[in-house]
Amino acid sequence: MSTTTPIEPNTLERNLAEALGVFSLMFVSGGVGIMLGAGLAEGGLLMIAITTGLVLGIAVISAAPISGAQFNPAVSIALSVIGKQSWARTASYVTVQCLGCVLATVLLQNIMQTEPLQQAGEASGWAATRGSAGLSVSSMLILEMIGTFTLMWVICRVAVHPRSQPVASGTIGFAVGGTVACLILAFGPLTGMSLNPARSIGPILVGGAEATDWIYGIGPIVGASLAAVLHHRVQS
């Protein structure tokens, strides 16, 4: 019986996997949000949570062996903070993650050509992750931090510092996708539950920025980094 040695993915393969993962996340979740706004789909927040969780989980399963399936600048930065990934790779990942989201947003803007879809897209800032409950900036920032802290803690438990044998990518995908879906259901109306600076940057650049959009960069990065540092210390 012959055995084969796994081939280490090269930089192009890793970056492409990260870009495609975020592209898929934005294209599916953003597309669903716009169709809901246009009255072409039903299900509201539940539909957004389910589709976002599913596409993210599938993307994680597909890309985990290639790039680690991070799909999130906050996650990539947190891994570098605790020394699990070089800052050079993180810089590369963050760049392509944001690029993937921007490309998906531009594509949505150009294929959603009917008047109801265009109106829904413009009204939503092309699927921007923003809350509609009128919370203060500090409250929204804290919620984004807590949400991303929770997500990063789950990632650390199942992928970064598993206590037993390495966890299958299917299990990781289920855990990550399920966590994101639950957080969207719980707090989506309050902040939009971005949890991901890359997911937010596309709509900001394409649909226009608002004064509070900075919380979708700072909140997730701080929350994920705190979770990674705390979990790393617990495991040390």
| Residue 98 pLDDT > 80 | yes
| Residue 95 pLDDT > 90 | yes
pLDDT grade for 160, boundaries at 50, 70 and 90: confident
Domains of the chain: 11-235 (1.20.1080.10)
pLDDT at 86: 96
- Over residues 14-38, the mean pLDDT reads 96
pLDDT at 2: 41
Please say whether the dihedral angle defined by the alpha carbons of residues 18, 216, 209 and 181, taken in this order, is positive or negative. Answer: positive
Cβ distance 193 to 147 under 8 Å? yes
Alpha-carbon span 155 to 227, nearest angstrom: 10
- Over residues 55-66, the mean pLDDT reads 95
Alpha-carbon span 58 to 6, nearest angstrom: 22
Alpha-carbon span 23 to 202, nearest angstrom: 10
How many other CB atoms are found less than 10 A from the CB of residue 142? 16
| Residue 236 pLDDT > 80 | no
How far is CA 185 from its chain centroid? 15
| Residue 203 pLDDT > 70 | yes
Q: Tell me the two tokens of residue 131.
A: 């809350």
Alpha-carbon span 145 to 163, nearest angstrom: 25
- Over residues 203-226, the mean pLDDT reads 95
Work out the mean pLDDT of the chain and round it to a whole number. 92
